Amino acid sequence: MEGPARPYTNFIPPYLKESVGKWKTHKVLEPGIIEHLDTSGNKIYTVRVASTPNGRYSTETMRKISAIARKYAGASMRFTGGINMEFVTKDLNDAISLKTEMEDLGFPIGGWDGHLWNMTSCAGYFHCALAATDAPSILQNLANNLGKYFNKEELPAKLTISSSGCPSSCGNSFLTDISISGIHTEIPIVTPEVSKCDLQGTAYTCPVGAIQLKQLPDGSRTLEIRANLCIGCGLCVGACGGIIFETPEKTDGHAISIGGKAVPSRVGTTLGRVVVPYLPNEPPYYKKTVAVVTRIIETWKKDARKGERIADWVDRIGWESFYEKTGLPFYGQSMEYLDVRGMMTLRDGGTR
Amino acid sequence: MMSEVPEEVIQGRKILNELKKGDWPNFVREAEKTRYPVDLYGASLALKRDLFTTGGYVSVPGAPTGILMRVTSRPDIGENANIVRVLIPSGNFLTSDMLDTLCELADKYGVGMIHGISTGEDVEIPGIPKEKIRDFITELRQRGFECGSTGDAFRAVTTCVGSLLCEYSNLNTAEFRDSFYDKYNDFAKFPTFPHKVKVKVSGCPIDCGRATQKADIGIVGSWKGAPEVNQSLISKMDSEKLDNIIRSCPTGAISRHGSGISIKGEDCTQCMICVRNSGGAISQGREKQYLIYAGGKLRGKKGPLSGKLFTKVNSIEEAMNLIGTMVDIYGEQAARKERMGDLMFRIGMKNFLDLMKTKPQAHNAKDLRTNIFYSVNGEERERMPEEIKKAVGGE
């Protein structure tokens, strides 16, 4: 059969099959263990387990996880969209034993209701060709510092954190309550090495058409980047070794945005807003980044009403008050570009 | 004779030693248990520079998507960076046998590392040398897996857990994903679109599947009118809790009637707040409808754009067929490397709906325009007064 293995019923725990689509209620027994009840009175328990910040496991660890699933969770487990792991057990005792075994393996259980739910990261320097900042190591530091919110200390509402190495936002930046996104503050330059690349193909990767083919007096061809159009996304740098950021160690960094969420309650579905436009990359501890994120979370925790996500809280108090309360400095880059409704729309709709 | 260790590797090892600390599950500790070139990662942290570039090409018959080629710019420190993406079953459930198989393959062909799940919700096996990719994919297929989800094709369809574990679901998302691959697998396998197309499915408007946020085509299960109320459970409910539920409704659609409540269907926006807070006393309505969102994305020209409500349909089959129609027209009209969201932004919502042969409805507009610099063509000048006369009169 082509495509992914299916039907899904072959892969779920056997005791789950008869309850699919017949759920009635759920109850959070403790952070990370949830009891589900279906209409015919069957009960199952879901255990949510945190993963490594970038979701990479050694096969050694993965085999142990697989054995734990075989022992307690109907020989099956699922990965969530927030790169956590979830195990479904038939019995509460199994869930508790599973919790103990996973904790012994070094993976905490938690994340429900007013807690830190999930942390997602892209590959960063670990595997990717486009990274402006190393997303996983930033998230590792944040996790080490904020792990207490996963299952111990309570927050006003759900909290999600993400970290992406570049503006492509593969780590779910802008979708989560707090997002770190790598940015290139300078535009790339074209070196003579560019002649080794597929010039047409490289020019095509540019999302704004800022790269032009250019013929030199000797008849050879090169590329030219139009600085006024370039948005510094870095896609061409990944496509061709001849286009580089000259001094990424000095100019690359990351921005912090807050307030993304999917749930339509209160302010509705929103994307994150940039509150800190630039911070330098300072491995291994990224102390400034951790300090800013901690300050935002602590201010939110102190000031928000129960059930208010960060976006709802900011909507209520306003941005001016947000900067006052957190003590963060404000920079002009955070401001929205001109309202496109009135200024930029063309006569037949759309924009330039 | 010992070869000299580069300075950045020594610096990198110091940084990694610091990064390894802490109680939280640690990816550096995990990476050290594998054959992944940790020194290369350390060096890139020390240099604050990405040491990978995309590059190389490998042709594997029958696998036009699923392979990510990576080259290191410092082969003296480490290499083996190609990644193969593996599609996983709907609902993201993997059996222990499957995990063991993936571990075995990662040990045999890769560096002994598994990328548990990526944010695109597929499993990645990193570190496969170029010459082994063909054998790896052959064996992967024999063991019941399929690679995919790269290039300008349908990326892996991601869903929330849906009916498998959730009582709020209006749609069995796992079943939907299975039938999606029955119908559209060719478009998922062969890159034929101007840019990637991400389809995401959520069972209810809470949208754990992120269908409204970052999907080119997002499908959200919903219902029409008011939610179902179990009056006997409501009458047993604590009075203060009931008051809170009534107050929490953003449109004030809930009102009290003696010991029970009633919900005005025309005021309900299906935001799920009362359903979530009532502990089973209020549940989603019986008459389902499915909301189709279009144009959400994060990467590229206009930056992150959230999806716009495109249309509402009444059946799952309609939603499934609409995906095909939408990508057909998107494929014809979009410029190369233009995501659906960028196309919508460039030509405007009205023109986009015209292209998609969908009548613009008030639900398509989040807000209305404030200027009057638009064009009205001859056919519309005829049609508009007729329709308005029919609707409100005025001979």
End-to-end CA distance of chain B: 100
pLDDT band at residue B1 using 50, 70 and 90 as cut-offs: very low
Beta-carbon separation of A125 and B83 below 8 A: no
> What rounded mean pLDDT belongs to chain B?
90
Do B106 and B202 lie in one domain? The reply is no
What's the rounded Cα separation, in Å, for the pair B31 and B33? 5
Average pLDDT over residues A118-138: 91
Name the band, by pLDDT with cuts 50, 70 and 90, for residue A341.
very low
**B311 and B292 in contact (C-beta within 8 Å)?**
yes
Q: Output the CATH code of domain A116-123+137-179+255-327.
A: 3.30.413.10
A75: tokens are 């020989």
- Among B104, B127, B147, the domain boundary falls at B147
Which range (B94-103, B175-184, B226-235, B361-370) has the least confidence?
Answer: B361-370
| Cβ of residue B118 closer than 8 Å to a chain A Cβ | yes
User: What is the nearest CA distance from B266 to chain A, expressed in angstroms?
Assistant: 18
Compute the residue count for chain B: 395
Domain boundary pick from B96, B114, B147: B147
Substitution target from A2, A158, A261 for chain B, most B beta carbons within 10 A: A2
Task: Give me A237's structure tokens.
Answer: 């740098």
pLDDT of A268: 84
d(CA B155, nearest CA chain A) in Å: 12
> If residue B97 lies in a helix (H) or strand (E), which one and from where to where?
helix B96-109
Which residues partner with B221 through β-bridges?
B290
How far from B344 is each of A235, A269, B350, B357, CA to CA, in Å?
A: 22, 19, 9, 14
pLDDT at B81 over 90: no
Same fold, A116-123+137-179+255-327 and A189-244: no
Contacts of A208 (CB under 8 A, 6+ apart): A229, A230, A231, B301
Mean pLDDT of A227-234: 85
Instruction: Mark whether B119 and B259 lie in a shared domain.
Output: no
Mean pLDDT value of segment B67-82: 86
Last residue of a domain, one of B115, B147, B179: B147
Q: Is A52's pLDDT higher than 90?
A: yes
| Token duo for residue B50 | 């990405």
Distance CA A277, CA A255 (A): 5
Give the residue from chain B lying closest to A34, CA to CA: B165
Together in a domain, B351 and B381: yes
Question: Topology of domain A189-244, per CATH?
Answer: Alpha-Beta Plaits (3.30.70)
Tell me which residues of chain B, numbers 160 to 219, contact chain A at a CB-CB cutoff of 8 Å.
Answer: 160-161, 163-167, 169, 172, 174-175, 177-178, 181-182, 185, 188-189, 205-210, 212-214
Q: Which residues of A touch B348 (CB under 8 A)?
A: 345-346, 348-351
- Which sequence spans correspond to the domains of chain A? 22-104, 116-123+137-179+255-327, 189-244
Instruction: Please indicate, yes or no, whether residues B243 and B294 belong to a single structural domain of this protein.
Output: no
Whether chain A has a CB inside 8 Å of the CB on B354: the answer is: no
List, for residues A61-75, the tens digit of each pLDDT value. 999 999 999 999 999
Question: Does residue B303 share a domain with residue B205?
Answer: yes
Q: Give the structural domain span for B216.
A: 158-223+288-389
| Cα–Cα distance list, B383 to A82, B111, B386, B390 (Å) | 49, 66, 5, 11
Q: Are residue B211 and residue B253 in the same domain, yes or no?
A: no
Q: Which two tokens stand for residue B83?
A: 């990644």
Distances (CA, A) of B253 to A216, B80, B250, B261, B277: 69, 60, 8, 10, 15
Which CATH number goes with the domain that contains B250? 3.30.70.20
Phi, psi of B282 (to 5 degrees): -115, 130
CA distance B201 to B174: 9
Alpha carbon distance, N-terminus to C-terminus of chain A? 46
pTM comes to 0.92
Chain B, 264 to 303: residues with Cβ < 8 Å from chain A are: 269, 271-273, 279-280, 298-301, 303
Taking residues A24-53, report their average pLDDT.
Answer: 93
- Region B121-128: what's the mean pLDDT? 92
Provide the CATH topology of domain A22-104.
Answer: Alpha-Beta Plaits (3.30.70)
B93 with A11: Cβ contact below 8 A = yes
Q: What are phi and psi of B90, to 5 degrees?
A: -60, 145
Both B67 and B197 in one domain: the answer is no
Mean pLDDT taken over chain A? 90
Question: For residue B335, is it within any domain?
Answer: yes
Q: Same domain for B104 and B240?
A: no
- What sign results for the dihedral spanned by CA atoms B132, B135, B141, B146? positive
Shortest Cα–Cα distance, B34 to chain A (Å): 6
Please say whether the beta carbons of A119 and A53 come within 8 A: yes
Neighbours of B381 (CB within 10 A): 9
Tell me whether residues A51 and B116 touch, CB distance under 8 A.
Answer: yes
Angle at B291 between CA A11 and CA B324, to 5 degrees: 70
For residues B278 and B376, state if they share a domain.
no
pLDDT of the residue at A338:
53
Residue A247 forms contact with B (CB below 8 Å)? no
Tell me how far the alpha carbon of residue A48 is from its chain's centroid. Answer: 18
According to the model, what pLDDT value does residue A347 have?
A: 60
pLDDT at A337: 63
Which whole number is the average pLDDT over B323-344? 90
What is the number of domains present in chain B? Answer: 3
Q: A264 at the B interface (CB within 8 A)?
A: yes
* pLDDT recorded at residue B42: 94
- For B349, the token pair is 């919502």
Interface of A with B in 190-209 (CB under 8 A): 204-208
Residues 6+ apart with CB under 8 A from A199: A213, A221, A222, A223
Would you place residue B367 in the very low, low, confident or very high pLDDT band (cuts 50, 70, 90)?
A: confident
| Residue B45 within any structural domain of the chain | yes
d(CA B338, CA B318): 26
pLDDT of A252-301, one tens digit each? 999 999 999 988 888 888 889 999 999 999 989 999 999 999 999 999 99
- Kindly state whether residues B298 and B380 are assigned to the same domain: yes
Task: Give the DSSP per-residue string, A191-251.
Answer: -GGGGGS-HHHHHHH-TT--EEEEE-TTS-EEEEE-TTT-----HHHHH-TTEE-S-HHHH
- Alpha carbons within 13 angstroms on the beta-carbon side of residue B146 total 22
Does B133 reside within a domain? yes
CA distance A214 to chain B (A): 20
Q: Which residues of B, range 230-259, sit inside 8 Å of A by Cβ? A: 250
List A86's β-bridge partners, or say none.
A48, A78
A225 in Cβ contact with A244 (< 8 Å): no
* Dihedral angle, C-alpha B230, B232, B235, B241, nearest 10 °: -40
Which residues of chain B lie closer than 8 angstroms to A2, CB-CB?
146, 181, 185, 189
Residue B14 in any domain: the answer is yes
Asked if B61 has any chain A CB less than 8 Å from its own CB, the reply is no
In a domain, B169, yes or no: yes
Contacting residues for B378 by C-beta, under 8 A, at least 6 apart? none
DSSP, res B121: S
Q: Does the residue B2 lie in any domain?
A: no
Q: Which two tokens stand for residue B168?
A: 């709020």
* Distance (Å) of CA B40 to CA B8, B9, B74: 9, 7, 8
> Is the domain of B375 the same as that of B321?
yes
- Hey, are the CB atoms on B207 and A264 less than 8 Å from each other? yes
Compare all CA atoms of chain B with the CA of A237 and give the residue at the minimum distance.
B53
Helix (H) or strand (E) holding A293: helix A287-303
For chain A, give the percent of residues with pLDDT over 70: 95
Average pLDDT over residues B276-302: 88
Strands A56-58 and B113-115: antiparallel
Helical (H) or strand (E) element with B228: strand B228-229
Nearest to B197 by CA among B346, B328, B64: B328
pLDDT at residue A140 greater than cutoff 80: yes
Query: B201 or B70: which carries more pLDDT confidence?
Result: B201
Q: If residue A38 lies in a helix (H) or strand (E), which one and from where to where?
A: strand A33-38
User: Which of B51, B81, B178 is opposite residue A7, by nearest beta carbon?
Assistant: B178
In a domain, B328, yes or no: yes
The Cα A87–Cα A78 span in angstroms is 7
Per-residue model confidence (pLDDT) at position A9: 93
Q: Residue B89's pLDDT is what?
A: 94
Q: What's the rounded Cα separation, in Å, for the pair A222 and A215?
A: 6
B278 and B295 housed in the same domain: no
What is the structure's pLDDT at B302?
73
- The CATH number given to whatever domain includes residue B135 is 3.30.70.2500
Nearest to A147 among B23, B120, B303 (CB): B23
Residue B273 lies in a domain: yes
